[in-house]
Amino acid sequence: MDLAAKARNGIQQADGNLLQIGTSSWLVISSSELLVCVDKSENRDGRKFCINGNRKTTGSWSIPFYNILWAELLQSELIIQYAAPSGQDVTANVLKFSVQPNCQSVKEWITKLLDCSYRDSQPRKRAKILVNPHSGRKKARGMFSKFIEPLLRAAGCIIDMVETTHAGEGISIAEKLDIDAFDTIIVCSGDGLAHEVFNGFGKRPDANRALKKIAVAHIPCGSGNGLSRNLNHTGNVSKATLAIIKGVRKPMDLVLVTQGDRITLSYLSQATGMAAESDLATEYLRWMGETRFVLGFLTRILAKKVYPAEISVKIAIEGKSLIMEHYENEIEKQASENMCSNSQHPLGCDLAKDEPYHPGLPPLKYGTINDVAPEDWVVVPCDNLGTLYCGNLAYMSTDAKFFRPALHNDGMMDLILIDGNLRRCSALQLFGAMTDDTFFDSPLIQYHKIRAFRWTPKNQDSGYISIDGESVPFEPFQAEVHKGLGTVIMINRQIPGALTSI
């Protein structure tokens, strides 16, 4: 069916969805998109309609609800802002129509269009934005002015941007942020700046409230962009911006890590051995972007390096088939919850439903690394350990899906242990499996769903430990997960067009 026919069909189905802008020109809110039909004969002088200032455009086309950014009536002008595909990206575009001044039916039509376009996502979010000009290939500043700012402004978001000037600034900004003035903090960088933001919130006396009130969002401008891949389902800057504009708040598990007398919040991963070294020991290859992780991993896997350790674990689910069963049940549960409602509690919902409320960080469930490990923890022999990789989300970078059954809010972490002395051909096969989604199935990896673990190095004086990709001192540590402690913005798959736009 061509669009004009679709539009006529739409008119017959629901008159309230139709906005007549001429005798034979219409705008129609269909079930999944906005249909635009502008008759050539009615826009000869270009007074009725223009697109991006061009008064000559006429014809019929459609815009998925997901791409509608904003609509408003300014006196006799109906303005519709939307994100239009442009090569690999989306860019801000504007349609303008002449209508009757301050017309009530136009106002009602706009309300309907915005309801369809945002569903239960909060429109016009108030965003604190951190841009790290040093991250990745140092393009974040350019990306902000080319894509991020125009899209956010077109969507009517209220934005307050700062460029970070040094490491650690993300912590102090989050620590001092007026959490009543914003809905979200959008990090335009790699995963490191998001780590700082969570840790800044963690330092506050009202840490729990800050972590619930301010949703963290990520636009992928760094060399490690795992968070954006998990939340926005994209590594593209403009599409991630759109996913955040149309995104929905969700609680996300956070991990509390104790080391010495320090406590660190982790949202993505904890790694030692090869997984940590291939990231942290390749800083000098930063110019390569995400390729540096691949190169780092390959060189170590082929060298058969081992990193002996003592590891004890609080197991949640044992065995790959039970883990997959849990994953599938949770996905089904989430889908039916989404069908019912996606309600947006102003504090990010799930405010300690089943646990007592604490204004600061919640108390540790299993003590610190300085306490004796609980008796029911399982000790895993790890004399030949190559990699310890513990993840809270599925993707660790844009295309490395290490933790296929990881869920952002199930109160569990996924732990991978891999021997370091694998035969070289097996190690290479395993490496290939990282990018084709068969990694989880490989018999070469031990996979556990856990609630907590402790790692102590054996016969190693120095080495690398990475928390969310950031280096921490080479000392024993203990980690435990807290369900829904943080809040993030995630793509809203319920809005028609969301899945085709990413």
Ligand X SMILES: Nc1ncnc2c1ncn2[C@@H]1O[C@H](COP(=O)(O)OP(=O)(O)OP(=O)(O)O)[C@@H](O)[C@H]1O
The 8-class DSSP code of residue 287 comes to: G
| Torsion sign (Cα): 242, 246, 252, 254 | positive
Q: Which of 48, 125, 134, 482 binds ligand X (CB under 6 A)?
A: 134
CB nearer ligand X, residue 39 or residue 470: 470
- The least CB distance from residue 109 to ligand X, in Å, is 42
Q: Does residue number 410 form part of the binding site for ligand X (CB under 6 A)? A: no
| SS3 per-residue string spanning 19-68 | EECCCCCEEEECCCEEEEEECHHHHCCCCCEEECCECCCCEEEEEEHHHE
CB 294 within 8 A of CB 399: no
> For ligand X, what does the binding mask look like between residues 220 and 239, x meaning CB under 6 A?
--xxx---------------
| CB-based contacts of 353, cutoff 8 Å, min separation 6 | none
DSSP element (H, E) containing 220:
strand 215-220
The 8-class DSSP code of residue 145 comes to: I
| CB-based contacts of 446, cutoff 8 Å, min separation 6 | 380, 415, 416, 417, 418
CB nearer ligand X, residue 72 or residue 169: 169
Q: Does residue number 168 form part of the binding site for ligand X (CB under 6 A)? A: yes
- Beta-ladder partners of 450: 315, 413
| Torsion sign (Cα): 22, 24, 30, 36 | negative
Q: Which of 183, 196, 253, 480 binds ligand X (CB under 6 A)?
A: 196
Integer angstrom CA distances of residue 159 from 244, 341, 491? 13, 28, 19
Binding region for ligand X (CB under 6 A) out of 69-77, 172-180, 219-227, 475-483: 219-227
Q: Does residue number 199 form part of the binding site for ligand X (CB under 6 A)? A: no
Integer angstrom CA distances of residue 461 from 130, 332, 385, 389, 479? 37, 46, 16, 20, 21
Q: Which of 164, 264, 269, 392 binds ligand X (CB under 6 A)?
A: 164
Interatomic CA distance for residues 306 and 427, integer angstroms = 13
- The least CB distance from residue 163 to ligand X, in Å, is 7
CB nearer ligand X, residue 183 or residue 196: 196
- The least CB distance from residue 196 to ligand X, in Å, is 5
Q: Which of 30, 43, 93, 132 binds ligand X (CB under 6 A)?
A: 132
470-489 residues in contact with ligand X (CB under 6 A) are 470
Interatomic CA distance for residues 451 and 86, integer angstroms = 44
CB nearer ligand X, residue 190 or residue 386: 190
Q: Which of 64, 150, 190, 296 binds ligand X (CB under 6 A)?
A: 190
Q: Does residue number 191 form part of the binding site for ligand X (CB under 6 A)? A: yes
Interatomic CA distance for residues 125 and 69, integer angstroms = 12
- The least CB distance from residue 149 to ligand X, in Å, is 18
- The least CB distance from residue 220 to ligand X, in Å, is 9
Binding region for ligand X (CB under 6 A) out of 68-76, 164-172, 267-275, 316-324: 164-172
Helix axes 424-433, 291-303, angle to 10 degrees: 160
Question: What tokens appear for 167 in the block?
Answer: 């490491």
CB nearer ligand X, residue 64 or residue 469: 469
Site for ligand X (CB under 6 A): how many residues?
Answer: 22
What does 437-469 look like in DSSP terms, one character per residue?
A: T-GGG-TTEEEEEEEEEEEEESS-SS--EEETT
> For ligand X, what does the binding mask look like between residues 420 and 459, x meaning CB under 6 A?
----------------------------------------
Tell me the residue length of the chain. Answer: 502
Binding region for ligand X (CB under 6 A) out of 108-116, 159-167, 239-247, 337-345: 159-167
- The least CB distance from residue 171 to ligand X, in Å, is 8
- The least CB distance from residue 29 to ligand X, in Å, is 40
CB nearer ligand X, residue 196 or residue 410: 196
Binding region for ligand X (CB under 6 A) out of 35-43, 167-175, 402-410, 487-495: 167-175
CB nearer ligand X, residue 170 or residue 484: 170
Q: Does residue number 189 form part of the binding site for ligand X (CB under 6 A)? A: yes
Residue 205: φ, ψ to 5°: -65, -25
Q: Does residue number 136 form part of the binding site for ligand X (CB under 6 A)? A: yes
Q: Does residue number 290 form part of the binding site for ligand X (CB under 6 A)? A: no
Question: What tokens appear for 292 in the block?
Answer: 């540096």
Binding region for ligand X (CB under 6 A) out of 77-85, 187-195, 376-384, 478-486: 187-195
- The least CB distance from residue 267 to ligand X, in Å, is 13
Residues that bind ligand X (CB under 6 A): 132-136, 164-168, 170, 189-193, 196, 222-224, 469-470
